[in-house]
Amino acid sequence: MSRAKVFISILMVLILIALSAVSVWAAPEDEEAISGKVQRIVIEVDETTGTTTVLVTLVDEATGETQTVRLSLVTATTLGLVPENIEVVIDPDGTPISGKIREIVIQVDEATGTTTVLVTLLVDEATGETQTVSLDPAAAILLGLVTQLIIDEPVEIAPEDVIEYVDEEGEHPVALALANFFDLEYDTIMGHHENGFGFGVIAQACWMAYRLAPEGENNTEVGDILDAILAAKKSHVFTDGDGTPIVTLPNGEIPKNWGQFRNAVLKSEKPKKNLGYIMSGRAKADQEQEEGVVGSSTQLFGEGQDKGGKPDAPPGKTKNKDKGKGGGKKK
């Protein structure tokens, strides 16, 4: 064998060894699967593309740390995180509620260990109105909304199934949007949502709270009125803690139901003051273009004062506050 052939053979061996080493060095470390108990599942639809994705928040039971990831709807369905059919009918108390699943929250009471499943449905796509129903795990499993494994055991999500990793503190996008728009604390919105109120109802209540707030209101006063409104909706008693009417009807009577109460406060604006109006960006656009004022003849907390001349600018935007801009404790 000639020296040239020997040299070429040795050179080829060295090249192969070098390439093998480079391949090993360049290989990424294996990523670990994401593991934890399911805490929250949010189904989101991109308004521009129509693409549906699923935000899943897992909690590490040992440390309490949470991790939120975005998955495709197919992946979430395959993993059993969401049912194959997200259009469901729930009948919690003899009154059927139908809509598309938008959120599933699994709550565990730290004191009693009792598990509750909160399911939020989009009940009106035109207005964006949602309704949240509280179910016990057995009922949620029977309806096919969750599985026993999802409630009892940690789940694992492979890194290759993750579209993106979301802020680990997991701010809810709808809650954050409402907090920003109404200039309220994020925790205020999420607190009401976790108490069983849908974001559609919370949005309407926020509109009403600002409409009912006295002139020169601050965010604390508005928050107190919001608390009173939602407490009244839950109890069906439309008075404050002292028994004073939150609002009276034109004939002087106290509203007997949520519909009467809402109509008394929002009047002809009712169809406009909804969650869809805010989430679509139309409310913000109208805010920037309109300077109109709308009078109100409702009596507030027994004061008997008309609210004529109260600005109809989107709530909180006429004040220089920094509330709700993602501040406060995130859920």
- The 10s digit of each residue's pLDDT in 51-73 is 889 989 888 888 888 888 889 99
Q: Residue 75: what pLDDT?
A: 92
* Residue of higher predicted confidence among 21 and 202: 202
Q: Residue 31: what pLDDT?
A: 59
Asked if the model's pLDDT at residue 29 lies above 70, the reply is: no
Domain boundary pick from 116, 134, 166? 166
Domain assignment present for 327: no
Residue range 134-155: mean pLDDT, rounded: 88
Q: Residue 251: what pLDDT?
A: 79
Domain assignment present for 311: no
Same domain? For 153 and 81 the reply is yes
- Please tell me the pTM assigned to this model: 0.53
Domain boundary pick from 166, 197, 230? 166
Query: What's the domain count of the chain?
Result: 2
Q: Is the dihedral of CA 256, 261, 267, 272 positive or negative?
A: negative
Same domain? For 204 and 145 the reply is no
Beta-sheet pairing, 87-90 with 97-108 = antiparallel
Domain assignment present for 323: no
Domain assignment present for 115: yes
Domain assignment present for 23: no
Closest CA to 121 of 141, 143, 106, 99: 99
Domain that holds residue 53: 36-166
Helix H or strand E encompassing 219: helix 219-235
Same domain? For 221 and 239 the reply is yes
Same domain? For 95 and 178 the reply is no
Q: Cα–Cα distances in Å, from 50 out to 26, 44, 126, 167, 281?
A: 38, 9, 15, 23, 17
Q: Residue 124: what pLDDT?
A: 83
Q: Residue 72: what pLDDT?
A: 92
pLDDT for 172-231, tens place per residue? 778 888 888 888 898 899 888 878 788 888 888 998 888 888 765 566 788 888 988 898
* Residue of higher predicted confidence among 229 and 168: 229
Residue range 126-139: mean pLDDT, rounded: 84
Q: Retrieve residue 74's tokens.
A: 């197919």
